[in-house]
A = this chain, B = another copy of it.
Amino acid sequence: MPFHSHKLPNGLQIIGETSPSARSAALGFFVRTGARDETPEVSGVTHFLEHMVFKGTPHRTALDVNRDFDRIGADYNAFTSEENTVFHAAVLPEYLPQAVDILADILRPSLRGDDFDMEKKVIIEEIGMYEDQPMWSAYDHAKRVFFAEHRLGNSILGTPASITALTRDQMHDYFRRRYVAPNVTVAVAGHFDWPAFVALVERHCGGWESGPVGRECLRETAGSCKFEVMTREKVAQEHVILMSPGPAADSPLRHSADLLGMAVGDDSGSRLYWALVDLGLADSADCSFHEYEGTGSFYTSFSGEPEQAEANLGVVLDVLRGVQKDGITEEELNQARSKVLSRVVRSSERPKGRMVALGMNWTYQHQYRSVDDELRAYEAVTLKSVREVLERYPLDRVTTLALGPLKKLEAPANGKK
């Protein structure tokens, strides 16, 4: 059994999967905190804090952090989502001690006032950059409309106003509450020595504060069913997102939901692909399932010429209603399964792929799942379990957000029941 796990007295969880054939190691610090854990007053603090983590500690300047990672040839980065903030690095096995040293150190950042003020400008610029990406903006607003007062509708980046108003003390308070040891999982995969790794993490993180961890608003939601049009005259194409409800990250239906989403809208061959993209009616058309703690949702989206948007919306609604009524075919299920199995296997061949899967499974399922466990779960999906997903989570119960030059957009009459 190549899986190992150990919990430090302060509550920090360490997990690892050794792979005898790997020649490198990947490790990640998974902090279970994200935009959904923010109150409106500190909107965007999680992502801003992720940036500040690289700005230095009592032992390292921002320059030292960069140079120290560089010296060991690390491939390192971080990301913030609705629910997680993850800091990770991939290195040659001999540099694992240094990688743990750096990551553990920066996760207790100084949050210096002058760095805070400087980085504020970078964050506000980043928000501006994302606003230039219409599909990303549409995604951010679709979540807001779908989730309504549910905290999963929170924006990850926040707004220029919320970031401007944020104080260093508010960030420090958020950090003290959310970065406590029991809210952190350290995952390692690839080529490493488990007892030595545990000793390393214990040495660097054993003194981290413990404390209560929690998360509010874990209920399931079926979405607001609203239809909102956001007019952006400078945007050339119309971007439309339809969100529908789906199972949560710990639901036994999640693999069925994943294959259903792919059959409907995978970008390389799917119902939507053949109905819109292949015919040149839309630039893009996708459907995919996203799982969260306590709830989930399907994101169906398309983009293209504004004058084509109404007709395309009709086609998309017809596809979603057709699937809701008659399900998908055996051939569509098998094709989606082939793609997913291939992707799971290929991503598992890299320590980084396994490290991320390991950390995420522990965060959401509180258990170890091998590659074979995942493959078996996808093998077990049937047309019947897909039908069960549709019955419990109607794919045509849509909340719609359009962003682009159009002033109004309506589902065409022939697209209505």
Q: Shortest distance in angstroms between A48's beta carbon and chain B's nearest beta carbon?
A: 20
Listed in ascending order, the chain A residues whose CB lies under 8 Å from chain B are 19-24, 63, 66-67, 69-75, 90-92, 95, 268-269, 278, 335, 337-343, 345-346, 348-352, 371
Contact of A70 with B23 at beta-carbon distance under 8 Å, contacts A346-B90, A349-B350 already known: no
- B338–A22 CB distance below 8 A: no
- Chain B contacts for A346, CB-based, 8 A: 24, 75, 90, 350, 352
Count of this chain's copies in the oligomeric assembly: 2
Residues from chain B with a CB closer than 8 A to the CB of A351 are 349
Contact A21 B21 (CB under 8 A): yes
* Cβ contacts under 8 Å, A278 to chain B: 63
**Nearest 6 pairs between A and B by C-beta?**
A21-B21, A73-B338, A73-B342, A70-B269, A73-B339, A23-B345
Known contacts A66-B269, A73-B342, A75-B342: A24-B349 contact under CB 8 Å: yes
Bound CA–CA A342/B269 (angstroms): 36
By beta carbon, the residue of chain B nearest A67 is B269
A72 to B335, CA, bound (A): 7
Q: Which has the most chain B C-beta neighbours within 10 Å: A70, A95, A348?
A: A70
Q: Give the residue name and chain of the B residue nearest to A22 (CB).
A: B349
Distance of A339 from chain B, by nearest CB (Å): 4
Minimum distance in angstroms from A78 CB to a CB of chain B: 14
Give me 22 A-to-B residue pairs in the complex whose CB atoms sit less than 8 angstroms apart, sorted by A's number. A21-B21, A23-B345, A23-B349, A23-B371, A24-B345, A63-B278, A66-B268, A67-B269, A69-B268, A71-B335, A71-B338, A72-B342, A73-B337, A73-B340, A73-B343, A90-B342, A91-B342, A92-B341, A95-B338, A346-B350, A349-B350, A350-B350
Bound-complex Cα distance A71 to B266 (A): 12
Chain B residues lying within 8 Å of A24, measured Cβ to Cβ, are 342, 345-346, 349
A269-B74 Cα distance, complex, nearest whole Å: 12
A20: chain B residues at CB < 8 Å are: 21
A21 and B21 alpha carbons, distance in the complex (Å) = 6
Looking across the interface, which residue of chain B has its beta carbon closest to that of A335?
A: B71
CA–CA, A371 and B24, complex, Å: 13
Q: Chain B residues near A340 (CB, 8 Å)? A: 73
Interface centre among A92, A335, A349, A350 (most CB of B within 10 A): A349
A335 to B349, alpha carbons, bound, how many Å? Answer: 27
Contact at A335–B90, with CB atoms within 8 Å? Answer: no
- Since A22-B349, A95-B342 are in contact, a sample of 11 more A-B pairs with Cβ atoms closer than 8 Å, ordered by chain A residue number, is A19-B21, A23-B345, A24-B346, A70-B268, A72-B338, A72-B342, A73-B337, A74-B342, A75-B342, A95-B338, A349-B351
Complex Cα distance, B73 from A350, in Å, reads 19
- Inter-chain contacts of A66 with B (CB < 8 A): 268-269
Complex Cα spacing A338 to B72, Å: 6
Of all chain B residues, which has the CB nearest A340? Answer: B73
With both chains docked as a complex, state the minimum distance between the C-beta of A181 and any C-beta of chain B, in angstroms: 29
Which B residues touch A268, using CB under 8 A? 66, 69-70
Hey, which chain B residues are within 8 Å of A23, CB to CB? 345, 348-349, 371
